[in-house]
């Protein structure tokens, strides 16, 4: 019996339909990853710039200080830029940034409390530690 290829998916692949099969693995992975690093960085910067006003508002509400809020936003940007994710919506990106900002602001509050308690005279520090 002579076998014929009845459907397209049974035909052997051509050079065009093989896609990336003939490319080296490193090149295939690079091309299939989507946007380049520079494109992801510029997208991140654009989305962060759009979110900056919201981030400042949240940071000022938590920290009650403009300078500390600016520091928290700066720390948020550094933390987020280390490994920016690929979100399909801007809302998910903003939520992710706000969560990072809250963590950074909380860290600043803790550092501020530790610095304040270290400046107290020794007798007051002892009373505070006994009272807890």
C-alpha separations of 85 from 39, 45, 54, 79 in Å: 13, 12, 19, 12
pLDDT, tens digit, 9 for 90 and up, residues 1-51: 554 444 444 444 444 444 445 445 544 444 455 667 777 788 889 999 999
Is the separation of the CB atoms in 76 and 36 below 8 Å? Answer: no
In this prediction, residue 67 carries a pLDDT of 95
pTM of the model: 0.60
**Secondary structure of residue 113 in the 3-state scheme:** helix
Instruction: Give, rounded to a whole angstrom, the gap between the first and last alpha carbons of the chain.
Output: 90
């Amino acid at each position: 019996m002579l076998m014929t290829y009845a459907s397209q998916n049974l035909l052997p692949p051509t050079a065009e339909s093989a896609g990336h099969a003939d490319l080296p693995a490193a090149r295939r992975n690079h091309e299939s990853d989507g946007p380049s690093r520079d494109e992801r960085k510029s997208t991140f910067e654009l989305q962060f710039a759009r979110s900056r006003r919201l981030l400042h508002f949240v940071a000022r509400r938590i920290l009650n200080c403009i300078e500390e809020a600016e520091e928290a936003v700066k720390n948020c940007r550094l933390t987020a830029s280390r490994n920016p994710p690929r979100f399909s919506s801007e809302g998910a990106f903003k939520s992710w940034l706000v969560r990072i900002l809250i963590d950074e602001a909380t860290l600043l509050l803790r550092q501020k409390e530790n610095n304040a308690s270290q400046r107290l005279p020794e007798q007051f520090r002892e009373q505070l530690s006994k009272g807890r």
